[in-house]
Structure 1
Amino acid sequence: MSTRRTAVWTTAAGVAVVAVLAVLVVNGVVWPNRIPAARYDVRGVDVAHYQGEVDWDVLAAQDLDFAWIKATEGSSHTDPRFAANWAAATRTDLLVGAYHFMSFESPGADQAAQLAAEVPATPGTLPPVIDLEFYGAFHEDHPSPKTVRAILDPLVAGITEHYGAAPIVYATQEAYDLYLAGRYPDLPIWIRSVGWTPRLSDGRDWTIWQYSHRDRLPGYDGVEPYIDMNVFAGTRAELEALTLD
């Protein structure tokens, strides 16, 4: 009887510990990737209007080196906070860049033109990023590689021509495997992997790793309580070497 009671209590305690850990993870208090990500010295964030008004002086003071700011989406949308974020962030010591959320529903050349119209090619800023991930119905019904590359190729070409530097491509691991693996060898990869240390399926090295999407930092007050955290696979000087001339 006592052995059975001990087993029950042990099981209950184990379930309780797992439940507490789950709550801590959901609330961003504990995040599994923080330990391996701590190996990298160069850290940064990415933000959009969801973070609301950002106090960039406060945010920049938190051991951060870089920030990418959402600028555009598709061929006609501009993030409503981009202009304010860009103006304030570029006055800090952060290395700052803009990112474009790629649409599967408009031509790549038009999307490149939308980005170029909104984001200045300012020397010393980081190259633009193409955010390649699924959204809406495309989570279940993935576009074909042929369809995506027909959009991505002119988007990359337009950005490279306008800014004088190749863009970085941000991708989830699923999007990377479908559309990027074994291709685009000259484009730096920013990989999203919030559950484990990333290993790209084709053996390629990543340049930036988004290791958490549930961190909390002082300095913003929007509808989204969390902020994405990233590390760069190199030194700050090496990241600075990627900035526009």
Structure 2
Amino acid sequence: MSRRKMQRSDKKKFKLDKDAQQRIEMEFSDVESYDIEEPAAERKKHPFLRKLIIRSILLCTAVLLINLVIMLYTGQLWFNEPRKRDYPVRGPVITEKEGKISWNSFAQQNIQLVFIRATKSTAYEDENFQTNKSGVTETDLPVGALHIFDFNMDGKEQAKHFIDVCGNMNGWLKPAVEVKITGFMNLFPADYDKVSDRLYDFVEEIKSYYGSEPIIKCSSRTYKNIVSDERFDNCPVWYESQYSKIDDDIRWDFWGYSNRVKFSYYESGDYLEMVLFNGDENKFADMYL
């Protein structure tokens, strides 16, 4: 018999007896057995679906923002939307930029007043003022003339210039004077005491000629530093606040609430500045000369 066959024969014959088996079982009887958990199957990832969702969200957000900007730009949506039933008397401000106006048709739109820019400083006259003055007087639309106040020029001379250009305004609204800080004046703060004195001279000259104090058109800044002077307590206030409501502690009669409103029947078709009156039609009657 070969050696390999003998080894195979020995392997087949090898067998633990019962005594050996019992000893092995007793030796390892105190060893705890552990259940080995198989790793859970990983969730399948869907990178394409995730990217699609993210892109859809971004696209929707972009579309909403674009629509919001367009609506603000076109005036369909604005920061202030005063209700018509609360403020029934309102209308636009007209300058030479609007070009030729068909006043009879223009006045038939949903407006109850209009202010026309007449003069600025001591020499400038709106090039369309006389034409607009002639046209609007053929309608029943309440109308007022507006002067742009120059902080650096004599107030009495500015008033005389306004009077020379506008002349008799019986049946018109009280004259209005715009007192706002614009352009380079934002870089070089004005001497508010001097400006107040010049504005007071303007008011007194207007009152002397027309028999009434003018309406003062102002921003929050000029209201605080100039118009709140007690010398102007009898002047109606036209307060500009286009992005929020007017604070309760502000005294105001007119509210410039938007500059993004369009009407028909004027050449330029541009957006117009809007103003409303703080009161009903009966109270509005007090605003006439």
TM-score, length-normalised on structure 2? Answer: 0.77
Alpha-carbon distance between aligned partners in 2 of 1:194 and 1:149, rounded to the nearest angstrom: 24
Match for residue 256 of structure 2? 210
Match for residue 157 of structure 1? 204
Is 1:34 the equivalent of 2:87?
no
Q: Deviations over 1:103-160 (max 9, x none)?
A: 1121001001001101123321101001011233113223121121121110111111
Which structure has greater strand proportion?
1
Q: Using CA pairs under 8 Å that are at least 6 residues apart, name the structure with larger relative contact order, 1 or 2.
A: 1
Alpha-carbon distance between aligned partners in 1 of 2:85 and 2:182, rounded to the nearest angstrom: 30
Is 1:243 the equivalent of 2:266?
no
Change (3 A) 1:118 1:169: same
Structure 2 residues without counterparts, runs of 5 or longer: 1-46
Match for residue 66 of structure 1? 113
The letter for the 2-side match of 1:221 is E
Within-5 A mapping of 1:70-81: 70-81=117-128
- Please say which of residues 116-125 and 86-95 is displaced more in the overlay: 116-125
Match for residue 234 of structure 1? 279
Aligned partners of 1:65 and 1:236 also within 8 Å: no
Aligned partners of 1:37 and 1:211 also within 8 Å: no
Alpha-carbon distance between aligned partners in 2 of 1:32 and 1:104, rounded to the nearest angstrom: 30
TM-score, length-normalised on structure 1? Answer: 0.91
- Report the RMSD for the aligned CA atoms in angstroms: 1.9
Within-5 A mapping of 1:188-199: 188-199=236-247
Match for residue 137 of structure 1? 184
* 1:35 CA displacement: 4.5
Give the % identical residues.
24
Paired residue secondary structure (1:45): strand
Structure 1 residues without counterparts, runs of 5 or longer: none
- Please say which of residues 204-213 and 95-104 is displaced more in the overlay: 204-213
Paired residue secondary structure (2:221): helix
Match for residue 171 of structure 1? 218
Within-5 A mapping of 1:2-151: 6-36=53-83, 39-151=86-198
Alpha-carbon distance between aligned partners in 2 of 1:68 and 1:142, rounded to the nearest angstrom: 29
